[in-house]
Amino acid sequence: MDQNSTQHIARMAIVGFGEVGSAFARALTAAGRKVSVFDIKLNDDVTRATIVGRARECGALVAENLATALRDAQLVFSAVTASQAEVVATASAEHLTAGQTFIDLNSVSPAVKQRNSEQIERHGADYVEAAVMAPVPPQGVRVPMLLGGRLAKQTAEILNSLGMRTEAVSQDIGLASAVKLCRSIMIKGMEALCVQSMLAAKQFDVDGRVLASLAASFPRAGWDTGYEAYLIGRVVEHGQRRSEEMREAALMLDGLGMSSALATAIADVQQELAARAAPLSESLDPRGRLPEWRTLLNLPEAVNALSEVTERTGSRSPELVDKI
């Protein structure tokens, strides 16, 4: 890859064509780049049409397999789930050569990013880790991202010239991801706290009083204008993916010799609600909030399942669901 100019960066590939992948494809094709996309959902007759239609809307080319998607791509973006990040890096490495750069957007532990880097570079390609530091909608490719790796600075210059907002933070792999996951413990933790607090308060019919108290304690946070509906909505829509990210945070904490109990509990709350409330995604408003959570989530079985989370003392192996 020519690191001195973007005019030679003409072909790109995106692996994983969900929320992030489609946003990137739309912006990159609008910038005049040729983008090939691949998603394992193309192999499923039920989901294939959705992926193909989304790619057509973005102006991207659909590749029938991973090798075809990566062929001749100068930049390769991996935007899959945490559970699939290492699998995709390992599979991609077999098809990459010198002159190609693999940009790992996935929310995984520093250790996984380091292993992914080793896999990619062993085959002669370059590896750059990326940490997405905020929700992609509504910012799209303007979402802040931290980059790490030997080519982080040069890659940041290229991506920024394409309309992105990236910052190179280290030549070492793992530090950008550490920033991301440490932040995620706070953000996803707040969501989990809100879910349990509101569902419990609703059972006692005191949710209004709890929200009024929070608004008085934190007057500019939005507790009196639907902030709880936004936090609950994020879990309903993205809880499965967020639970996987928090399990990666737990692995990071384990590696540091710290307790991962809190991160694991957050993951459990996210996963429990997402599993039970998946059909409610259609009830989210344009801002991602679930305004009618009091009615829609007023299910005793959901409350009981979530209350069990606090009684767990160890992690469990989640049944992961691909949401690429």
Last residue of a domain, which of 126, 141, 173?
173
Residue 254 pLDDT exceeds 50: yes
Same domain, 153 and 181: no
Mean pLDDT of all residues in 115-131: 97
Q: What is the reported pLDDT for 4?
A: 47
The closest of 92, 79, 87, 39 to 61, measured between CA atoms, is 39
- Percent of the chain at pLDDT > 90 equals 83
Positive or negative, the CA dihedral 195, 197, 203, 209 is: negative
pLDDT reading at 316 higher than 50: no
Q: What is the mean pLDDT of residues 108-113?
A: 97
Residue 154 lies in a domain: yes
* CA–CA separation, 197 and 190 (whole Å): 10
- Name which of 128, 165, 200 is nearest 24 in CA terms: 165
Q: What are the helix (H) ranges across the chain? A: 19-30, 45-58, 66-70, 82-93, 110-122, 152-161, 175-203, 207-217, 227-255, 261-277, 293-296, 300-309
If asked whether residues 79 and 139 sit together in one domain, one would say: yes
181 and 168, same structural domain?
A: no
For residues 110 and 41, membership in a common domain is answered with: yes
Query: Would you put residue 13 in left (φ > 0), alpha (ψ -120 to 50) or beta?
Result: beta
Tokens standing for residue 234: 């994020």
The catalytic residues are 180
3-state DSSP assignment of residue 223: coil
* Of 37, 36, 31, 35, residue with least CA distance to 7: 31
Instruction: Tell me the mean pLDDT in the region 219-229.
Output: 97
In this prediction, residue 318 has a pLDDT band, given cuts at 50, 70 and 90, of very low
Is residue 66 in some structural domain? yes
Whether 192 maps to a domain, the answer reads: yes
Is residue 2 domain-resident? no
Query: What tokens appear for 245 in the block?
Result: 């990210």
**Contact between 70 and 92 (Cβ < 8 Å):** yes
The CATH number for 191's domain is 1.10.1040.10
State whether 107 and 216 are in the same domain.
Answer: no
Q: pLDDT value at position 308? A: 57
At residue 315 the predicted structure's pLDDT band, cuts being 50, 70 and 90, is: very low
Examine residue 78 and state whether it is found in any structural domain, yes or no.
Answer: yes
- Asked if residue 150 and residue 166 are part of one domain, the reply reads yes
Residues 108, 64, single domain; the answer is yes
Cα four-point dihedral sign 104, 109, 114, 116: negative
Whether residues 125 and 186 share a domain: the answer is: no
| pLDDT over threshold 90, residue 306 | no
Considering the domain boundaries, does residue 314 fall inside one?
Answer: no
Across 96-112, average pLDDT? 97
Question: Model's pTM, two decimal places?
Answer: 0.84
Last residue of a domain, one of 117, 139, 173: 173
> Domain check: are 276 and 161 in the same one?
no
Residue 192 has pLDDT above 50, yes or no: yes
pLDDT in tens, 49-76: 999 999 999 999 999 999 999 999 999 9
Give the pLDDT score at 8. Answer: 79
Average pLDDT over residues 254-276: 96
230 HSE (CA, 13 A, CB side): 12
What is the pLDDT, as a whole number, of residue 135?
Answer: 87
Domain shared by 167 and 54, yes or no = yes
Mean pLDDT within 69-94? 96
Count of domains forming the chain = 2
Average pLDDT of the residues in 197-224 = 97
In-domain check, residue 323: no
The answer to whether residue 324 scores a pLDDT higher than 80 is no
Task: State yes or no: pLDDT of 88 exceeds 90.
Answer: yes
Domain that includes residue 133, residue range: 11-173
- Asked if pLDDT for residue 232 goes beyond 60, the answer is yes
How far is 38 from 66, CA to CA, in rounded Å? 6
Alpha carbon separation from 119 to 45, 122, 171, 289 (Å, rounded): 31, 5, 17, 40
- DSSP labels, 121-177: HHTT-EEEEEEE-S-STTTGGGSEEEEESTTHHHHHHHHHHTT-EEEEEESSTTHHH
**Domain finish residue from 135, 157, 173:** 173
5: in domain: no
Residue 59 is predicted with a pLDDT of: 96
Mean of pLDDT values over 130-148: 94
